[in-house]
Chains A and B, each alone.
Chain A
């Protein structure tokens, strides 16, 4: 290439001497996104076909030009080729900016750190697109579960909530296509309303980006984005079908994208997933089916310096909850726990009956951006979400088919963000966020509202900057302030209001006193500062050391503030506390990473100290005419979580790779000096992968996953009187199940069926040995074993 260029240059210089053209055009070629120098970019002068390449500093020089107007084509292997028109008068300098190809990175990112998404000073974990496709028939939680430091808190096997470094629910922020999910994430039995098949890409935001999304992600931020669409004339798609033996169901997902060179594009995607009752090794898990329907649509216009996009997605899910988990009180609970098998086992069916959940989530987003030279990229986004959750319990009489819970949560958010390169070494990101949320609990359920009607207003302002000190060291600092105002209308039971002394503490919020209830109108304000400070040091050829300190403040969620009553699905009475203030987490994390073709690893220890940590735990037994129930009360304490996540990957011979990961977290209540409840047990996963790109890209993997027993737990057992036997017995709700080992097999092979089409056939077995086990983090572990062996067959066509 160089020789060719030189030859042309030589030829050109000869011909141009006679024209007395001795002017020089010099300058640099940079990446429009991050301003980085593009090495090896080719510049061709139209007409003369004179060509040069940029050097190691991204600089170029074209000599022997006349005082004239030239068209120069600039190209780079990683960028879209672009033409520029330049007027030469004398020796001219000009810098060209190229748009990086919007490569399909197709990843979701989890930051197991406070606040950060896309932070330069926090080690990020990624799931590749091929990995995601293996979870096509599962859920987002299943996919995240495969990462070190991430586990999940489950309700059965279809409600999978990610648990990052020991924290879950409101402490994990999920960003779906740039929109913070507001899907009643406070509940442990509320799974994220995100279609795993709609997740394509990770958009890398250079710099400390997580504060851009939120300041309250005490546990972490999960960013899921749809695949980027290239700016070229194209039409492509993908269809994937998975059939599974356990649950006797399948999932079908398809997506189609059309793009134009002028920047317009449209993409449509849909998923249909239906499973009947799942099975443990020894019995059917009755009423655990799932029926999921999702669709999404993108339409947009994308140019180098401006663009606009509209996005809409619909997520609809019917989930059966294990029939045997619906209990009438402590005596039933004892019977269920002491029984080896679930108390109710029916024949396999696809029907989903009560107890069940029916969730619909609409998400609409409009986003526009404009890039200003020497200033930065300004974007404005408006999004609307409507989450409707219906929960059906086993009921009596006329209410038999009515939902026990019917909540509609509407959220409007407006974001204004500025992403600016202040200098070559300093990047600045700043923005404001305004959000309005309304919750409406339908009174026609005939059940007192679990979550009251409320209006919530949020206002956030953030600034994040990073500074590249030298080639090895990068510093990052950021701050954010969030203000939250809540206006709530809640009916309290008079007896509860008085037993909590609220009648003395909050007499001013009482609106009206009814027979046995009091209508109140609490108005709450929360002021939440958050911040991050970090550094990344690169050394050797492939080592990186990350350090980050982050402070996160989270306002209590409606469930923590206002729960007051029997939670059927948990067979317990849950009580919130109106007096709660924000919890504040301080997290220090360190990571050492080696990125190498043969041996890569990362070790990531951390300490997370959370002041006023809100925890729910059993406090007493309450007698009712229905029987006795355990009371779980929310309480604030100081918590400390210590842990380490480790990953390693070693290529020991050609085509063979060993992947290992290890996660450990210990959580303590520092006030009571006892272990925290629901902490993931130590676990390690080891996998041997054979992959041969020369033989149809065949891939075979065998994974061993070992989960230790959780030995640190708080004792929340309680006693109950059994009239039949006239004895008092202990209800053991604390003792964690035994350690277990699972073996999983996976394989896939690619076939080219047409010039542009590829067929991938996959086959897998999970729980190969059909091991009976119970997972400490499954809320239904008291009543039934977890899933037995499952054969999966997978077909994927890219076209």
Chain B
């Protein structure tokens, strides 16, 4: 490909020079100059054409969160419930796959824990660790919607004693169904009274359809 380039360029130059020749036959010095210019151009083009074509190395998005898994373990034993949202192409066109493994049982208290993963990397990277390391800069919020009757409470705090929320408890109330939304805010105002005055930026916003029976 590069050779074609150089040739094209040279041909065009040659024709221009020929054109000039007819006008400047008298001026031999001009011809010399032009010849010199041609050489310079030709050499430069060759030089730049020879640049190496290194294949670039892939970049795996380091900060993307592809997967959030919320595990709800009933106090007093029983099958734990998993809520998961998984988007293996990150910001790509595929939508997240949202799964809820089962229904909550009325009157039962569950211990909740949240795990965040970046699965674009191999092995996958646990983002929860980073969030817990920077606990002052993060906070989870739990929002129930529709008719869902549940009560949530924070299960862990940051180093200043304000809620962090990668661990929590949830008490299932009367049989009902609705949505449960988990929101992770980066650099929120702490302490706050909820999403309304927390500010910061949303790192995660995932909504699950949940039923209490």
Contacts and interface: CB of A to CB of B under 8 A. Distances in A.
Interface of A: 326-329, 331-332, 343-344, 370, 372, 375, 378, 380, 382, 394-397, 399, 412, 414, 416, 418, 432, 434, 436, 438, 441, 443, 445-449, 452-453, 455, 457, 459, 461, 483, 485, 487, 489, 491, 493-496, 499, 511, 514-517, 519, 523, 565-566, 573, 622-629, 721, 723-724, 726
B48 to A, nearest CB: 4
Top 5 nearest A-B pairs by Cβ distance? A328-B202, A446-B62, A328-B201, A723-B181, A627-B205
Tell which of A455, A495, A624 has the most Cβ of chain B within 10 Å.
A624
Given A523-B1, A723-B207, A397 B130 contact: yes
Contacts of A455: 51, 53
A622 B92 CA distance: 8
A625 B96 contact: yes
Interface in B122-161: 122, 130-131, 133-134, 137, 143, 145-146
Given A448-B59, A517-B58, A624 B134 contact: no
Interface in B1-24: 1, 5, 8-9, 12-13, 16, 20, 23-24
Q: How large is the interface on B (under 10, 10 to 19, 20 to 34, 35 or more residues)?
A: 35 or more
A499 B96 contact: no
Interface in B178-213: 179, 181, 183, 185-187, 194-196, 199-207
Nearest to B65: A625
Contact of A495 (B61, B92, B131, B145): B92
A347 B13 CA distance: 62
B106 interface: no
Secondary structure dominating the interface of B: mixed
Contacts of B67: 625
B55 interface: yes
Contacts of A397: 62-63, 130, 133-134
A414 B41 contact: yes
Contacts of A326: 201
Interface of B: 1, 5, 8-9, 12-13, 16, 20, 23-24, 27, 30, 33, 37, 40-41, 44-45, 48-49, 51, 53, 55-68, 85-96, 120, 122, 130-131, 133-134, 137, 143, 145-146, 179, 181, 183, 185-187, 194-196, 199-207
Tell which of A343, A418, A629, A723 has the most Cβ of chain B within 10 Å.
A723
Given A397-B133, A629-B91, A723 B145 contact: yes
A441 B57 CA distance: 10
13 contacts: A328-B186, A331-B202, A375-B24, A434-B41, A436-B45, A436-B49, A438-B51, A446-B59, A483-B8, A485-B1, A626-B202, A724-B194, A726-B179
Nearest to B206: A625
Contact of B93 (A329, A517, A622): A622
Nearest to B8: A459
Contacts of A516: 88-89, 120
A449 B64 CA distance: 14
Contacts, number: 184
Contact of B57 (A375, A443, A627, A721): A443
Given A438-B51, A491-B58, A515 B122 contact: yes
Nearest to B200: A328
Given A396-B63, A459-B8, A487-B53, A328 B91 contact: no
B202 A329 contact: yes
Given A436-B51, A499-B93, A723-B181, 20 more contacts: A328-B202, A380-B40, A396-B131, A399-B63, A412-B44, A449-B59, A457-B5, A489-B56, A493-B89, A495-B93, A519-B56, A566-B91, A622-B93, A623-B87, A623-B96, A625-B66, A627-B202, A723-B143, A723-B145, A726-B146
A799 B205 CA distance: 63
Given A432-B12, A515-B122, A723-B179, A624 B24 contact: no
A461 to B, nearest CB: 6
A723 B204 CA distance: 12
A537 to B, nearest CB: 32
Tell which of B59, B122, B196, B200 has the most Cβ of chain A within 10 Å.
B59
B66 to A, nearest CB: 6
A256 B8 CA distance: 44
A436 to B, nearest CB: 4
Contact of A447 (B49, B55, B59, B92): B59
Contacts of B56: 441, 443, 449, 452-453, 489, 491, 519
B76 to A, nearest CB: 30
B57 to A, nearest CB: 5
Nearest to B19: A430
